[in-house]
Amino acid sequence: MKLIVLDRDGVINFDSAQFVKTPNEWKPIPGSLEAIAQLHQAGYHVAVATNQSGVGRGLLEMSTLNAIHDKMHRMVTQVGGRIDAIFYCPHAADANCTCRKPKPGLFEEISARFGMSLKGMPCVGDSARDLECAALAEGQPILVLTGKGEKTAQSSTLPPNTKVFADLAEAVRFIIT
């Protein structure tokens, strides 16, 4: 089985400093949905791991988060792709939970759900915490320069062997070839 882990905001869709709080605010980055379709068609299972502290902060309800994810699923399906599972941390940053990236809780859930180690698996993100989490899980950290990616590339120490690509579409072309 081939598996890939993607962050959501800044990788699949445009990020917002005010949080993506409604389905209408969720807008895909050009080429990202088609990239997920290419992964699916190449035999990859696609898991999304995303911090969603807006829920814990009271900025959106769980039903709204589910509606956002339903929209993402529908749009990916419309281009021939599939997201197999979405794992999210709904807690605020000060909750000290084990599931908020860079802590490994979400990745441990993904590993258990798919019954496999994430060692060497591509893990795509746009922030330092995404890459740190990938490294903790022994995955292959991949930074995309969309979202917070350019700032991350300039201001953070990247984990060893981090690959860097312009966007998810470019990363996927590398992964599946």
Catalytically annotated residues: 7, 9
Non-local (6+) Cβ contacts of 98 within 8 A are 104, 105
Non-local (6+) Cβ contacts of 63 within 8 A are none
Non-local (6+) Cβ contacts of 15 within 8 A are 9, 126, 147, 148
Report, in this order, helix, strand and coil percent for the chain, each rounded to 5: 40, 20, 40
CA 36 to chain centre: 11
Residue type, 45: H
